Amino acid sequence: MSFKEGFYWGGATAANQCEGAWNEDGRGPAETDMLTAGSNHSPRMLTYQMPDGTTGAIPRTGGKLPEGAKLAVLDGYYYPNHDGIDFYHHYKEDIALMAEMGFTMFRMSISWSRIFPRGDEIEPNQKGIEFYRNVFKELKKYNIEPLVTLHHFDTPLYLEENYDGWNNRKTIEFFDRYAKVCFEEYKGLVKYWLTFNEINNTVMFLELFGDKATKEGYQRAYQQLHYQFIASAHAVKMAHAIDPDYHVGCMICGITFYPGTSDPKDILLNRHAWEKNIFYCGDVQSKGKYPTFAKRLWKEQDVQLDITKQDEQDLMEGCVDFYTFSYYMSTVVTTHAIEDKAGGNFSMGAKNPYLKYSDWGWAFDPEGLKYYLEMIYDRYEKPLMVVENGLGAVDKVEEDGSIHDDYRIEYMRDHIKEMGNAIDNGVDLIAYTSWGCIDLVSAGTGEMKKRYGMIYVDKDDEGNGTFERRKKDSFEWYKKVIQSNGKII
């Protein structure tokens, strides 16, 4: 296997799922702070308050806020993102553990509302700026390269409530200001940036959001995406102007789609699934223009987009330098009746009889990763990074404190092997940051027990625990993988 010299090995997190300290040092709230914990079978809820003081909760997926309601934190509910895994106060300890594993890259995100608590201010919050500077300095101490996501599911709540968030062109301006501050403040400390995490989710998972998959829902989703594409393109241009050493990438939720049968209708459906779910965003961000099939997608849903001539120019001038994606699973699409559905949070389509599934219904398909890597590299010919991958599983702490997570080792080993095969076939893969290298709050379910880490964190689904960190068996295994640059897996 041929991981090149200097291949980046590491792990990935997101601010809203690990930092905690949700209202400390001037940070403003994001929607993720209003989310309760759910499970594989019950959705996370958004809590709200009416002008008359009455309160309630709606499911995040498919729920509709009553007229006049405002999202609110209520007594009697538990909000797992409020304390996350308290990375805010543990970052030195956590980074030391990552360094011990031999990390050369750490993917993290900046919480926008820590820098601009409301989102529309002119002056940033100095305490927020200082926090990330300290984190980057700590990483530098160990020669760990940060890979920084500007937006990971956390638009400031104030912008959502007062400007209708990404449905409003004005939000691009606020994002521009935020991105500029980050690029200027962290010059010399950061080299790699990502603009929007899993930008394609907006359209890909629309069907999972109940009544939002209407023509109006698609209109909003495609328009939001367009504004995010512009914001992303502005960020790329700005980053290059501020520091020619900056590299900016896109981040796509990577799922490998397969047709359920050889029925030509399934083959076409599968191609369309790739186009709508994967290529649509990747093409705009990597090639700087909408692909031909975009017209078909818009026509199917009667979508009319607000796109200006200036936008078209911005997209062309703001192509990303590299392409990154998350990869957890593959899925099956078919026009035929589905007898066995893939269950679980954020997994969709038919169950694949040739694959094993995790406890959360996600298909275990390492070859699907190779398929994705080769397909995407051929399409864009830009360096690739796998910036999320891993197994969400329940871990057992033995009486002596050890955690034997051989299932996680098996999952990562098989995926790393396929990355090596893709490299041997010519793919320019430059980094692997496994998801949730340290246990954190699940984005989909809000659970702690859906653990991905090689570092265990003592916190449960009700928020009990000491936040103590502990090494799992996968810790020592991953250390050897990194030491041998992927030779010993």
> Which residue ranges make up the site for ligand BG6 (CB under 6 A)?
14, 17, 197-198, 253, 326, 345, 388, 392, 435, 442-445, 450
Whichever of 248 and 437 has its CB closer to ligand BG6, that residue is 437
Rounded CA-CA distance 7/94 in Å is: 22
Rounded CA-CA distance 269/5 in Å is: 40
Please tell me whether residue 402 adopts helix, strand or coil conformation: coil
CB of 109 to ligand BG6, least distance (A): 9
Rounded CA-CA distance 243/21 in Å is: 31
Closest-by-Cβ residue to ligand BG6 is 444
Q: How many CB atoms lie within 10 A of CB 480?
A: 13
CB of 214 to ligand BG6, least distance (A): 24
CB of 207 to ligand BG6, least distance (A): 16
Phi, psi angles (nearest 5°) of residue 21: 45, 45
Whichever of 14 and 129 has its CB closer to ligand BG6, that residue is 14
CB of 164 to ligand BG6, least distance (A): 23
DSSP-assigned letters across all residues of 7-74: -EEEEE--HHHHT--TTSTTPPPBGGGGB----SSS--EEEEE-TTS-EEEEETTT--PPTT-EE---
CB of 131 to ligand BG6, least distance (A): 20
Question: Which amino acids are annotated catalytic?
Answer: 198, 388
Rounded CA-CA distance 445/43 in Å is: 7
Whichever of 60 and 226 has its CB closer to ligand BG6, that residue is 60
Whichever of 125 and 201 has its CB closer to ligand BG6, that residue is 201
Residue with tokens 């920084």: 148
One-letter amino acid identity for 155?
Answer: T
Instruction: Annotate 191-245 with three-state secondary structure.
Output: CEEEEECCCCHHHHCHHHHHHHCCHHHHHHHHHHHHHHHHHHHHHHHHHHHHCCC
CB of 336 to ligand BG6, least distance (A): 28
Whichever of 421 and 474 has its CB closer to ligand BG6, that residue is 474
DSSP class of residue 3 equals: P
CB of 201 to ligand BG6, least distance (A): 7
Residue spans of alpha helices (H) in 116-206: 126-141, 157-163, 170-185, 201-204
CB of 17 to ligand BG6, least distance (A): 6
User: How many angstroms from the chain centroid is the CA of residue 37?
Assistant: 18
Whichever of 44 and 276 has its CB closer to ligand BG6, that residue is 44
Q: Is the CA virtual torsion 301, 302, 306, 310 positive or negative?
A: positive
Whichever of 17 and 47 has its CB closer to ligand BG6, that residue is 17
Rounded CA-CA distance 13/94 in Å is: 12
Whichever of 232 and 421 has its CB closer to ligand BG6, that residue is 232
Beta partners for residue 470, in sequence order: 456
Rounded CA-CA distance 385/413 in Å is: 17
